[in-house]
Amino acid sequence: MSNMRNLTINAERLWDELMETGAIGGTPKGGICRLTLTDLDREVRDWFKQRAEALGCTVTVDDMGVMFARRPGQRDDLPPIAMGSHLDTQPTGGKFDGVLGVLAALEALRTLVEAGYETYAPIEVVNWTNEEGSRFAPALIASGVFAGVFERDWAWTQKDRAGMAFGAALDTIGYLGAERCGAHPLSAFFELHIEQGPLLEAESREVGIVTGVQGVRWFEVTVRGQEAHTGATPMNLRKNALLGAARLIERIDAIALAHAPLAVGTVGLVEVRPNSRNVVPGEVFFTIDFRHPDTDVLDAMEQAFGKALPEICDQLGLTASADKIWENPPVQFDPDCVAAVRKAATASGFSHRDIVSGAAHDAAYVSRVAPSAMVFVPCLGGISHNEAEFSSKEQCAAGAQVLLQAVLDYDRLLAERG
């Protein structure tokens, strides 16, 4: 058996496979259009299955189309340590979002096979179905069913714009598996992903140790005043809903800034009624998107807005209502898994920093049912969901190396615990 410190992934091979699979749904601008459960998705799934089987893995598929490529361990009765991400993309997606996490996991597993390294627990590479949510809503649907957040039967009935149901699409491409989604215990799950933000690049760090995923709260607000003639209505007699909305938007910015640097607050959609140049606005609808890694801070932000709403509206003779329409709690990844990633980055000699993910990921749902953590690598300009998305060969390789070392570190932890 070789020493785990000698195990090094093959950067060229990983890069070649990123480029090879990038041609499946490849776009003229260098991106990928590979929507979930299409013929192109089937093609990349077939490719993945064939490569995994060539490494001696057994590939199983569950009834949400999630693929598990398994390499046995010494203790084959233990749930596997899994690593992976997703092979589907946005319609104008890049070559790295999701794909890197699956192919790096495959490369890590191949490194173990070639070294003849026998792990304590079985190791699996996972491809989660429909992470992107572009063809079928919601996003992260398979990891959501896996974690018990969504019902499988409900997921199967979700339709694309052409009216095709998710379950039927799964069957059509031949990836409706027999195993019940979620009936597949994992000892742990590790996901490598591009950052999709600018922090690692800005600080010239090679690796991000992802400690969690921030929580999200969405609100819809309606401010009501009175429509009136702009020429004939004196300023002191107006009930201008847009003025109220403007002051509220400024307050939302201040609320987020009060919890800097981690809090963000955004009003991204505003509708003014009647939206006419010579009518004092009678009604304004707008949305709020608050995000922070801690529930306590999200509570404080929500309360601050709840206080500002009547305060600002009363002064202007307006009424208002606000509804919380969606809430996704923050995720703190498992301390042992995070420690394994940090140790792996340090041992591999990569510069790193802790980071909280701004975007949702399959690992966030999986963390509800198995200890999980993530590894981030930088992407050019922090750009993703874009054909111009780019991470270099070296950056991809650094992520794959940390992924491998983290899995081996966690495997050793399991062995120590017996």
Where along the sequence are the contacts to Zn ion (CB under 5 A)? 97-98
* Shortest CB 374 distance to Zn ion, Å: 11
Specify the residue, 94 or 244, whose C-beta has the smaller distance to Zn ion: 94
Output 227-236 pairs: Cβ under 8 A, ≥24 positions apart.
Answer: 227/274, 227/279, 227/280, 227/281, 227/282, 228/279, 228/280, 228/282, 229/278, 229/279, 229/280, 230/277, 230/278, 230/279, 230/280, 231/278, 233/280
* Shortest CB 58 distance to Zn ion, Å: 26
* Shortest CB 74 distance to Zn ion, Å: 33
Distances from the Cα of 74 to the Cαs of 33, 81, 182, 364, 418, in angstroms?
A: 40, 13, 24, 29, 12
* Shortest CB 384 distance to Zn ion, Å: 8
* Shortest CB 361 distance to Zn ion, Å: 6
Specify the residue, 255 or 356, whose C-beta has the smaller distance to Zn ion: 356
What's the rounded Cα separation, in Å, for the pair 81 and 370? Answer: 10
Instruction: For residue 385, give the nearest of 196, 133, 137 by alpha carbon.
Output: 196
CB 85 within 8 Å of CB 44? no
CB 94 within 8 Å of CB 390? yes
CB 112 within 8 Å of CB 72? no
Specify the residue, 17 or 97, whose C-beta has the smaller distance to Zn ion: 97
Residue nearest to Zn ion (CB): 98
Specify the residue, 283 or 362, whose C-beta has the smaller distance to Zn ion: 362
Specify the residue, 149 or 168, whose C-beta has the smaller distance to Zn ion: 149
Specify the residue, 273 or 385, whose C-beta has the smaller distance to Zn ion: 385
Both tokens of 178, joined, read: 């027999």
* Shortest CB 379 distance to Zn ion, Å: 11
How many CB atoms are closer than 10 A to CB 134? Answer: 19
Instruction: For residue 217, give the nearest of 295, 274, 143 by alpha carbon.
Output: 295
- Report the residue count for the chain: 418
* Shortest CB 287 distance to Zn ion, Å: 24
* Shortest CB 32 distance to Zn ion, Å: 12
Specify the residue, 309 or 380, whose C-beta has the smaller distance to Zn ion: 380
* Shortest CB 254 distance to Zn ion, Å: 32
Both tokens of 27, joined, read: 């776009």
CB 297 within 8 Å of CB 259? yes
* Shortest CB 258 distance to Zn ion, Å: 31
String of b and e for 99-123 (b: at least 16 CB within 10 Å)? Answer: bbbbbbbbbbbbbbeeeebebbbbb
Specify the residue, 284 or 364, whose C-beta has the smaller distance to Zn ion: 364
Specify the residue, 80 or 98, whose C-beta has the smaller distance to Zn ion: 98
CB 166 within 8 Å of CB 155? yes
What's the rounded Cα separation, in Å, for the pair 283 and 313? Answer: 12
CB 183 within 8 Å of CB 174? no
Specify the residue, 173 or 194, whose C-beta has the smaller distance to Zn ion: 194
Q: Write the CB contacts of 339 (distance below 8 Å, at least 6 apart in sequence).
A: none
